[in-house]
Amino acid sequence: EPEVTQTPSHQVTQMGQEVILRCVPISNHLYFYWYRQILGQKVEFLVSFYNNEISEKSEIFDDQFSVERPDGSNFTLKIRSTKLEDSAMYFCASSGRQVFYGYTFGSGTRLTVV
Amino acid sequence: GQQVMQIPQYQHVQEGEDFTTYCNSSTTLSNIQWYKQRPGGHPVFLIQLVKSGEVKKQKRLTFQFGEAKKNSSLHITATQTTDVGTYFCTVPDSGGGADGLTFGKGTHLIIQP
């Protein structure tokens, strides 16, 4: 079964540092997303991406965040200057044209800001 | 953005008992999706409901969408230890193809053997 792949699985970074979280969505999917989940809390939408541009973003996705699809397979989330409160599990997801089949989530990257 | 209320937050059941989680929205929904997240895992898509009054079954799981398309439920019959996890309902932000999903807070299902 096709999977969404995320790397690294765990990233520890110092406050103020830049981090890049990487994702390889399912190859024939068209829509790509980033979500985050602070420990013990609900999953929160960050951003959606379609046709090489941001389609929708939440209030959480401020100027510190950016996304990129640098080539035909990777989808990245960059946090420019990490804060303690950015510590969370970050999930990448993708979906095909038929959302009826749901969104496929990756296994996540646990970001710890110290 | 969309808001969705999900109850209960936690549900303890004995193995073999039934389990139900409920989602409610103040607005009419175009669709609702359900996801399961195992402890330490990622959300896994279960189903999407689109039609008013729709009922769908997956083995021991029964999903319902209310007639007014403002509420939904997930019912598990005769729970097993493999059912442990958090069940989330989600609603789309605006109905477009690249929608973000708004997640409910989830219901944590805890099964006591």
List pLDDT tens digits, range A50-92: 989 999 999 999 999 999 998 878 999 999 999 999 999 999 9
Question: In this structure, are strands B85-92 and B32-37 parallel, antiparallel, or unpaired?
Answer: antiparallel
- Angstrom distance (rounded) from CA B43 to CA A9: 16
For a pLDDT cut of 70, what percent of chain A falls above it? 97
A60: distance to nearest CA of chain B, Å? 13
Write down the pLDDT at residue B95.
56
**Amino acid identity for residue B71 in this structure:** N
A3: distance to nearest CA of chain B, Å? 11
Torsion of CA B68, B106, B16, B64, to 10 degrees: 20
CB spacing of A91 vs B98 below 8 angstroms:
no
Write down the pLDDT at residue A99.
62
Write down the pLDDT at residue A109.
98
Q: What is the 3-state secondary structure (H, E, C) of B54-98?
A: CEEEECCEEEEECCCCCEEEEEECCCCHHHCEEEEEEEECCCCCC
For A48, the closest of B45, B98, B105 (CB atoms) is B98
Write down the pLDDT at residue B92.
87
Two structure tokens written together for A56: 């929708």
Q: How confident is the model at residue B96 (pLDDT cuts 50, 70, 90)?
A: low
Write down the pLDDT at residue B1.
65
For B99, the closest of A44, A56, A106 (CB atoms) is A56
CB spacing of B98 vs A105 below 8 angstroms:
no
For a pLDDT cut of 90, what percent of chain A falls above it? 82
Instruction: Give me the mean pLDDT over the A1-29 stretch.
Output: 95
List pLDDT tens digits, range B59-80: 999 999 999 999 999 999 999 9
CB contacts < 8 A, A to B, total 70
List pLDDT tens digits, range B100-111: 899 999 999 999
CB A25 within 8 A of CB A113: no
Residues 71-100 of A with CB under 8 A from B: 91, 97, 99-100
Instruction: Give me the mean pLDDT over the B35-52 stretch.
Output: 96
Binning chain B into helix, strand and coil, the percentages to the nearest 5 are 5, 50, 45
Residue A99 or residue B88, greater confidence: B88
What Cα–Cα distance (Å) separates residue B102 from each residue in A75, B13, B42?
A: 21, 27, 16
Instruction: Give me the mean pLDDT over the B36-60 stretch.
Output: 96
pLDDT higher than 70, residue B91: yes
- Angstrom distance (rounded) from CA B69 to CA B25: 9
Write down the pLDDT at residue A31.
92
Contact list, A102 vs chain B (CB under 8 Å): 33, 35, 45-48
Query: B30: number of CA atoms within 13 Å, CB side?
Result: 13
Look at A11-20, A42-51, A95-104, B72-81 and tell me which has the smallest mean pLDDT.
A95-104
Contact list, A97 vs chain B (CB under 8 Å): 97
